[in-house]
């Protein structure tokens, strides 16, 4: 999705064939199981399945055009030593033009290899970027705890898993809620991240925005940033392998 793309209901534009649009979205939703690079764009277009118009169809065709030009792109899982988990979480602020809810993005790595990724619209409306990032970190923590529980079935007990976030304010909230009285309006269900920090299950670390891999799941990016993050996720052109 090109930088600066802002999809909205576009009620003043001509409608398009509903069945065809939903069929295209359905195919792309199936594809994102192995193509995290198109997840944000596909999920963004999927929000308009009930009443699609020409701008929405044009955006979907752009995704198909990108897919056509990168047929061999995919995740690469090389064998090497080491065994660790790390995660990234990010969020925009009020990115959805329909209800002004933020989009949460997260990705989890096992031994440096991408194993799980998310791009979802948050269920609540955030009034600050710190709140949006905090809610995103809580959602990412849920995924981390689930991965931990799966590994315990194989007698692997991992703790102090690093969670990288590019908001210093959100990190401070994770460590100390008492001094941040302005967070009282945030639903209690999002505050469980603090208990996991205290128990040592996760560690929240700051990462500069230029190194935030979850950016690709929350917003449209310029070509340079998009290409850099795609490489960081471990995606390569399979046609170059010998």
Residue 233 lies in a domain: no
- pTM, entire model: 0.89
- What is the distance between the alpha carbons of residues 1 and 110, in angstroms, rounded to a whole number? 28
Residue 230 lies in a domain: no
Q: Could you tell me the CA-to-CA distances from 137 to 34, 39, 62, 143, 226 in Å, in that order?
A: 23, 19, 31, 10, 22
Residue 225 lies in a domain: no
- What is the distance between the alpha carbons of residues 113 and 240, in angstroms, rounded to a whole number? 19
90 and 56 together in one domain: no
Write the pLDDT tens digit of every residue in 161-206: 999 999 898 888 888 765 545 565 566 666 788 888 888 889 999 9
- What is the distance between the alpha carbons of residues 140 and 209, in angstroms, rounded to a whole number? 17
Write the pLDDT tens digit of every residue in 212-225: 999 999 988 999 99
The CATH number linked to 135 is 3.30.420.10
Q: For the chain, how many structural domains are there in total?
A: 2
* Angular region, 47: left φ>0, alpha ψ -120 to 50, beta rest: alpha
67 and 92 together in one domain: no
129 and 208 together in one domain: yes
- What is the distance between the alpha carbons of residues 181 and 178, in angstroms, rounded to a whole number? 6
- What is the distance between the alpha carbons of residues 72 and 36, in angstroms, rounded to a whole number? 14
Domain of residue 176: give its range: 85-215
124 and 58 together in one domain: no
Residue 234 lies in a domain: no
Partners of 89 in beta bridges: 106
């Amino acid at each position: 999705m090109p930088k600066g793309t802002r999809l909205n209901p576009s009620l003043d534009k001509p409608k398009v064939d509903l069945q065809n649009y939903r069929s295209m979205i359905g195919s792309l939703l199936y594809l994102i199981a192995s193509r995290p690079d198109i997840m944000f764009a596909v999920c963004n277009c999927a929000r308009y399945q009930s009443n699609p118009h020409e701008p929405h169809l044009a955006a979907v065709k752009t995704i198909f055009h990108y897919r056509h030009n990168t047929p061999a792109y995919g995740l690469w899982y090389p064998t090497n030593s080491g065994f660790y988990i790390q995660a990234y979480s990010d969020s925009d602020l009020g990115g959805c033009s329909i209800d002004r809810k933020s989009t949460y993005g997260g990705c989890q790595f096992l031994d440096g290899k991408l194993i799980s990724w998310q791009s979802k619209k948050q269920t609540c409306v955030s009034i600050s970027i710190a709140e949006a990032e905090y809610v995103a970190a809580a959602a990412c923590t849920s995924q981390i705890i689930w991965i931990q529980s799966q590994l315990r079935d194989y007698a692997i007990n991992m703790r102090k898993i690093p969670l990288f976030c590019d908001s210093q304010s959100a990190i401070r909230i994770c460590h100390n809620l008492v001094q941040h009285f302005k967070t009282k309006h945030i639903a209690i269900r999002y505050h469980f991240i603090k208990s996991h920090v205290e128990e040592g299950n996760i560690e929240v670390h700051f990462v500069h925005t230029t190194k935030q891999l979850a950016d690709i799941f929350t917003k449209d990016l310029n070509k340079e940033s998009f290409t850099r993050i795609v490489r960081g996720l471990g995606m390569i052109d399979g046609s170059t392998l010998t």
